[in-house]
């Protein structure tokens, strides 16, 4: 399986939205509550420091966004979100996206990558971040509102780039 990771282009938006909006609708990983239309997506993905996509046979199978976690004196810390098309999960695409974002983050001048809200039931993400060597800062009880209206614990992670 030859996966190419590259910067997204506007022509990728339709395929990207399938992945992004599916994760939003599942309400178990991303904090956003509203799905994006193509016009909103164009602005949203363009406004990131970097938006990367994973491509297999000319199909977008994954994506990530990378941006500052905060401003000013904390602007050297990046934050990112990742999504893999549900048909392609379990093939290592997520790991490729995370590792690519770490390289791009360093190129963009970030020295750390921090995740503010990894949902505790997102076991594949937790396994991946632990495998790569991210450090767990701690947990926040009831930090994430699931789609079933129940709250779940979130984990904060970071890694030096």
CATH number of the domain to which 74 belongs: 3.40.630.30
Residue 100 has a pLDDT of 98
Give the residue with greater pLDDT, 1 vs 73. Answer: 73
Structure confidence at residue 122 (pLDDT): 97
Instruction: Judge contact between 46 and 12, C-beta under 8 A.
Output: no
Residue 47 inside a domain? The answer is: yes
Mean pLDDT of the region 38-43: 97
Count of domains observed in the chain: 1
Flag whether pLDDT at 58 surpasses 80: yes
Of the chain, the percentage scoring pLDDT greater than 90 comes to 99
Q: What is the pLDDT of residue 46?
A: 98
Flag whether 131 is in a domain. no
What number is the average pLDDT over the span 22-27? Answer: 98
**pLDDT over 70, % of the chain:** 100
pLDDT higher than threshold 90 for residue 126: yes
The whole-number pLDDT of residue 1 equals 77
| H or E element that contains 46 | helix 38-46
In a domain, 150, yes or no: no
- Please determine, for residue 62, whether its predicted confidence score (pLDDT) is greater than 80: yes
Q: Is residue 105 part of a domain?
A: yes
Domain assignment present for 119: no
Residue 117 and residue 154 in contact, taking contact as beta carbons nearer than 8 Å: yes
* CA atoms of 105 and 156, how far apart (whole Å): 18
Q: Which domain holds residue 51?
A: 4-113
Burial of 61 (0-12, 13-18, 19+ CB in 10 A): buried
> Does some domain include residue 109?
yes
Residue 41 lies in a domain: yes
Answer whether residue 144 is part of any domain: no
Query: 79 pLDDT exceeds 90?
Result: yes
């Amino acid at each position: 399986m030859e996966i190419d990771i590259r910067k997204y282009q506007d022509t990728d938006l339709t395929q990207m939205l399938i992945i992004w909006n599916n994760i939003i609708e599942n309400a178990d990983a991303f904090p956003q509550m509203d799905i994006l239309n193509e016009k909103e997506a164009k602005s949203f993905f363009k406004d990131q420091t970097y938006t990367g996509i994973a491509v297999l046979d000319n199909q977008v199978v994954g994506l990530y966004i990378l941006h500052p976690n905060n401003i000013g004196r904390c602007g050297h810390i990046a934050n990112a979100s990742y999504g893999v098309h549900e048909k392609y999960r379990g093939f290592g695409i997520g790991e490729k996206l995370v590792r690519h974002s770490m390289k791009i983050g360093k190129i963009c001048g970030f020295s750390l990558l921090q995740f503010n809200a990894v949902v505790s039931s997102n076991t594949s993400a937790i396994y991946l971040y632990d495998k790569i060597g991210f450090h767990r800062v701690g947990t926040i009880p009831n930090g994430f509102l699931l789609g079933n209206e129940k709250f779940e614990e979130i984990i904060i992670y970071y890694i030096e780039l």
